[in-house]
Amino acid sequence: MKKSNQKDIFHVHTYRCRHAANVADEMYVKKAIELGAVSITFTDHAPFPGNPFGNRMDIQQLPEYLQSFNSLKEKYQNVIEVKTGLEIEYLPGFQYYYECLKKSGQLDVMMIGQHFYEYADNSYNFSLPREELQKKEAGGLCKAVMAGMKTGLFQVIAHPDRMFRYCGSWDKGMEQMSEELIKTALKYDITLEQNLSSMKTADYYRHEFWDLVPVSSKTRIGIDAHEVNQLEEIEEYY
């Protein structure tokens, strides 16, 4: 694990995603200041036009989400840097939407968090029977992340090693997928996130993946906080 002397709090969710604590955004900022952090980056689960997916804000809430951090940026400008981001799945059918988000100039970070993937016929893998979904998940997620990286629209990949959660023990195939992903991230100057939340769940965090990451790659710690006190976990890494 790389250590840094600047405490950056990265990957924080908000109440809008409907599975995080029901607290004001400012509470996270206050906690980050208390912990001596120099920055805090919010990356809530991104909405999509038409609200086709659950566990996230509605698209209608996006302007308010962005506005909230613009206010906090201003209010705390001399105390801590507040950054606005989104954690978002790369789904080729929404290419125009990612471009709009990028062009808006309102986001400091667009992070791929590939929790599911899209097929060419515009269906999604979460419709597959459980056993089939588990068998195909790693390959499908890897392909989607690779395609997303190549668009040049994203700066970070959240928990890249989580894609292997159903794969059991580490094998050659997983190593090849990892190497391809790591190589592509390096080529496109994309940061790989070591997710603290993944470390708490069996098979979500794969040290075999991180052992393949060269020192020239960009990596960073992400807390994946869904409540204010989780920000304290950053203490263990500084």
Query: Which stretches of the chain bind Zn ion, using CB under 5 A?
Result: 87, 224
With CB atoms as reference, the residue minimizing the distance to Zn ion is 224
Spatial distance between the Cα atoms of 84 and 40, rounded to a whole number of angstroms: 9
Least Å distance between CB 195 and Zn ion?
8
CB 110 within 8 A of CB 70: no
Measured from the CB atom, is 8 or 87 closer to Zn ion?
87
Measured from the CB atom, is 19 or 75 closer to Zn ion?
19
Measured from the CB atom, is 21 or 212 closer to Zn ion?
21
Least Å distance between CB 81 and Zn ion?
20
Measured from the CB atom, is 115 or 183 closer to Zn ion?
115
Spatial distance between the Cα atoms of 101 and 95, rounded to a whole number of angstroms: 10
Residue 120, CA atoms < 13 Å, CB-side half-sphere: 0
Least Å distance between CB 198 and Zn ion?
10
Least Å distance between CB 172 and Zn ion?
29
User: What sign has the CA pseudo-torsion 113, 117, 122, 127?
Assistant: negative
The sheet with strand 81-88 has its strands ordered as 8-12, 39-45, 81-88, 109-112, 156-157, 191-195, 219-222
Phi, psi angles (nearest 5°) of residue 192: -100, 130
Q: Measuring CA to CA, which residue among 79, 58, 156, 76 is closest to residue 112?
A: 156
Spatial distance between the Cα atoms of 138 and 152, rounded to a whole number of angstroms: 22
Measured from the CB atom, is 8 or 224 closer to Zn ion?
224
Least Å distance between CB 157 and Zn ion?
12
Least Å distance between CB 11 and Zn ion?
6
Measured from the CB atom, is 43 or 178 closer to Zn ion?
43
CB 133 within 8 A of CB 126: yes
